[in-house]
Structure 1
């Protein structure tokens, strides 16, 4: 069998994971929330808890720092330090968690369609989990537009998650498209092929997203959180909030509120060096 297809082979370094620390980070209590097993109930519960607790953010990229994807570094940053991360970090960590529990998990690469009709490169990383012969999209790293729970990889499926509706369609060449239902209708989020990706592919994609001049993650602060009641995004100095009824609110965050906003609205814990560097990046801080 192709390496990386079976969850127990260690491709995502699940054996190195401090599972108890991860569960504490996302607020999952076995006694209250159920024993961990490679089933849909566990996957759904972990997915919801992860996106609620671990924010999407690019702050290391914005500060010009490297973004390592080895499990030890991911645990130190996302679990122990209570920072967040973007898709390669989030889904690499989640893949290690799922692998440790015994899930069959593989990765895919997607083109982001949420920003219009342009044809961007494949830069988004997501996971596919197989449970009792059925495949589920699991993605804890798409930011504020992403799903709260796994989505079945079936053509025409429509799922409602705490007032947010997602769908899946299949296009030519087996391309699957994750969609979101908005007040104005369906909007494509991203499209991905059936091709399996591996950690080395994440490394290549991560290099582009963290260093290429055309990467949207360079030179600006991005923090996002896909809540059940509302979704939040901070890009540069603009904080946007979207509720399930479609109401959108925007406000400019002044430089003296930037750090408090990142910490209180997104749950990102920062040290003094990070606070100073991010304030310098604020449009009013230049």
Structure 2
């Protein structure tokens, strides 16, 4: 597989500090797993910028600035875009690939609907499907070439061959998305990213959401509700005031907001 690069100069130590991980001694699968989980726990999946009227930029410097310096999160193009830069700086080979999300079991979204990563390691046991930008998904990277079930804290994942060399990803038997095997440049995702961030038909423009992995659980804010999920249990806590909502963003996601996103 051919890998592309959008590498940018960055403070790798600052990025690693952001996710609470020491610099890996090797660009191998073991450290990839550690980096993947740490990113999911530290950097939230969130669309607050869309509802705050902030520009969504896929420029590599802007991605690093948002995730590392501003200590924010983002949606798939931003999170996997930034994570790819970190992995490349650490010596991993990374292919950015487009994916089409299953809207229903029989209906796929458009091309470039999602950005995922295929990662090559120094121990040559991959490539691995890495995805820190799909909300609820696998905690650890998935072995791209495996066609047997892969058990993960996030569920049982299965990869299956699809037409034209594509690969379908299933979680607990439900189709998630179809990966296009051809590597892409990050700029290829810019038109769909713009549509996702601006169109009234995009589910990202409908309501603000912020979510991250929290150990074996997931913690989220949807609108004005704090949600904790673990296993099959779900606990909802209303956030009735602006102060309560701001405090929840600070406490659970490290996000300090001068103003609240529209729709919250």
Give the C-alpha shift of residue 228 in structure 1. Answer: 3.5
- Mapped to 2, the partners of 1:177 and 1:252 lie a distance apart of 37
Report the aligned-residue RMSD: 2.3
* Match in the other structure for 1:191: 178
* Match in the other structure for 1:154: 145
- The 5-angstrom pairing of residues 124-273 of structure 1 reads 124-131=114-121, 132=124, 134-143=126-135, 145-162=136-153, 164-181=155-172, 186-244=173-231, 246-256=232-242, 257-265=244-252, 267-272=253-258
Q: 2:30 aligns with which of 26, 38, 41?
A: 41
Q: 1:18 aligns with which of 1, 11, 25?
A: 11
Give the C-alpha shift of residue 114 in structure 1. Answer: 6.4
Question: For 2:195, what is the secondary structure of its paired residue?
Answer: helix
Give the C-alpha shift of residue 219 in structure 1. Answer: 4.1
The two structures have a TM-score, normalised by structure 1, of 0.82
The two structures have a TM-score, normalised by structure 2, of 0.88
Question: For 1:281, what is the secondary structure of its paired residue?
Answer: coil
* Match in the other structure for 1:281: 263
Task: Confirm or deny: 8 A CA contact 2:96 2:185 kept in the other structure.
Answer: yes
- Mapped to 2, the partners of 1:190 and 1:258 lie a distance apart of 32
Give the C-alpha shift of residue 155 in structure 1. Answer: 4.4
Structure 2, unmatched stretches of 5+, are none
Q: 1:108 aligns with which of 93, 97, 103?
A: 97
Task: Confirm or deny: 8 A CA contact 2:246 2:257 kept in the other structure.
Answer: no
Give the C-alpha shift of residue 116 in structure 1. Answer: 5.9
Give the C-alpha shift of residue 18 in structure 1. Answer: 0.9
| Residue correspondences, number | 260
Report the more deviating stretch, 255-264 or 213-222.
Answer: 255-264
Q: Could you report, residue by residue, the CA deviation over 1:69-105 in whole angstroms, capped at 9, with x for unpaired residues?
A: 2222222211112111111111111111111122111
Q: 1:229 to 1:134 in 2, by over 3 A?
A: closer
Give the C-alpha shift of residue 194 in structure 1. Answer: 1.1
- Mapped to 2, the partners of 1:271 and 1:170 lie a distance apart of 44
